[in-house]
Amino acid sequence: MAYDDLRDFVRALDKHGELKKVPFEVDPYLEITEFADRSVKHGGPALLFEKPKGSSIPVLINAFAEMRMPEGLIGKLKMLPKLAEMGAFFPKIVSDGPCKEVVRRDNFSLDEFPILHCWPRDGGRYITLPMVFSRNPDTGKRNCGCYRLQIYDQRTTGMHWQTHKQGAEHYRRATSTTQRMDVAVAIGADPATMYAAILPLPPDLDEMMIAGFLRSKPVEMVKCETSDLEVPAQAEIVLEGYVELGELRREGPFGDHTGFYSLEDDYPVFHVTCVTHRKHPLYATTIVGPPPMEDFYMGSAVGRIFLPLMRLQLPEIRDVAMPAEGIFHNLILVSIRKSYPGHARKVMHAIWGLGQAMFSKCIVVVDEDVDVQNVREVAWKALNNIDPERDIQFVMGPVDSLDHSSRLPNYGSKMGVDATRKWKQEGFMRPWPDVIRMSDDVRHRVDELWKKAGLK
């Protein structure tokens, strides 16, 4: 993760044979999506489209797919709980940076960028992998989140921060004090910095500090031209601007990471007032759609980061898995060391109370001897272990904004399945059977006889 910037990362991908350059013209209208979708489903390389139709700026996609997440990252992530003791990675303010090589206050148009129209029935073109910076009006703390931006015209976009996200919270808080809220959007940076934008961190915990930790080097931040916000100095492209409080506009539809088109809804409007970029910028993007896509791999790494953090609060958790088909929040498989009656339900409620894990639509809790990374084993044992009426619990609460099945936007039901072995203290008086297993001596003997019989 110790890359200086996006192009440094691209060079490394290239050197390791993980990058395919496409030297001929490909259309950002649907065609790049089809390339990226086919490639990610086959474990293909990152793609660099050198001649996107209609723009002189190359498009990078699938750079985070497969296990290109550098190995070192995973090890580092396990150390995150110790972050509080480290503190040495606070972002550093610098006075200038490559993202300012070209400053355009008036003479810019978003049409110059190779922004994808991802799927046939999308409402337009979307910037899909931005780092959106805003400040908490009460505490002054920075937030960076990845929220898509629908292009409305040359200088305005949608601002798709969902209601539970930090950007939306800043917006709500700003409403009482000002008319406008400054927002800055950076596109393309070193992978740790880009990655930090999707981390579901607690409010007011600076993503840029975590990025510094992941890359073992503080992120250098430079002040915007037109506001007091700061952006990563090594970014490829920066859009500066504001959202007008109270101004909402129809956003969507968008072929989303659920694999369905997410519905249209009203979101704030981002007015771009200044664009800065490198002399020859790269445009980093992604597509989402029927899983698994690039975001599945990004999200899986998030899962691994948060397991050690979750275990700080809930040490009984052995392991957690989020199968691709569950698109993260729809299905969470959890194994626990069960210690007291009702323990599985305590864990479900704890997860529903934990940051963005509140969206977990179905939580299945199993005993620690079940390998949650093996979906077949979970299905087999869990389905055997449950008396549905007794072991399935429904609760009401906040649900993901993208959930198209909930009775209301953002509010609906969730399900917890207690698939642990039931105890007497839980009122279960029948004997509980063991899983069938052949005895070791017979297995060893048949190992020999197997060969003798000529079986393979």
Ligand X SMILES: Cc1cc2nc3c(=O)[nH]c(=O)nc-3n(C[C@H](O)[C@H](O)[C@H](O)COP(=O)(O)O)c2cc1C
Please say if 256 is a catalytic residue. yes
Q: Give the span between the Cα atoms of 306 and 282, in whole angstroms.
A: 31
Q: Is 320 helix (H, G, I), strand (E, B) or coil?
A: strand
The separation between the first and the last C-alpha atoms of the chain, rounded to the nearest angstrom, is 44
201 touching Mn ion, by CB under 5 A = yes
3-state helix, strand, coil in the chain (%, to 5): 30, 30, 40
> Where in 130-189 is the site for ligand X (CB under 6 A)?
143, 145-148, 160-162, 165-167
| Residue 198 contact partner, candidates ligand X, Mn ion, none, CB within 5 to 8 A by sort of partner | ligand X
Task: Report which of 249, 324, 314 is spatially closest to residue 294, judged by C-alpha positions.
Answer: 324
Q: 165 or 318: whose CB is closer to ligand X? A: 165
Report in angstroms how near the CB of residue 45 gets to ligand X at its nearest: 19
Report in angstroms how near the CB of residue 161 gets to ligand X at its nearest: 5
Residue 24's contacts (CB-CB under 8 Å, 6 or more residues apart) are 51
33 touching ligand X, by CB under 6 A = no
Q: Give the span between the Cα atoms of 164 and 410, in whole angstroms.
A: 9
Counting residues that bind ligand X (by CB under 6 A) gives 22
In the bound state, the residue with its beta carbon closest to ligand X is 145
| Residue 321 contact partner, candidates Mn ion, ligand X, none, CB within 5 to 8 A by sort of partner | none
Among residues 37, 182, 190, 256, the one annotated as catalytic is 256
255 touching ligand X, by CB under 6 A = no
- Cβ proximity of 36 and 49 under 8 Å: no
286 touching ligand X, by CB under 6 A = yes
Q: Give the span between the Cα atoms of 438 and 167, in whole angstroms.
A: 56
166 touching Mn ion, by CB under 5 A = yes
Residue 73's Cβ-side half-sphere holds a number of Cα atoms within 13 Å equal to 24
| Residue 328 contact partner, candidates Mn ion, ligand X, none, CB within 5 to 8 A by sort of partner | none
Q: Is 9 helix (H, G, I), strand (E, B) or coil?
A: helix
40 touching ligand X, by CB under 6 A = no
Phi, psi of 91 (to 5 degrees): -60, 155
- Cβ proximity of 28 and 2 under 8 Å: no
199 touching ligand X, by CB under 6 A = yes
Q: Give the span between the Cα atoms of 237 and 219, in whole angstroms.
A: 16
- Extract the tokens encoding 393: 């619990």
125 touching ligand X, by CB under 6 A = no
> Where in 296-355 is the site for ligand X (CB under 6 A)?
298
Q: Please select the residue that binds ligand X; options are 137, 191, 200, 323, rule is CB under 6 A.
A: 200
Counting residues that bind Mn ion (by CB under 5 A) gives 3
143 touching Mn ion, by CB under 5 A = yes
Show which residues are catalytic: 256
Residues that bind ligand X (CB under 6 A): 128-129, 143, 145-148, 160-162, 165-167, 198-201, 286, 288, 295, 298, 356
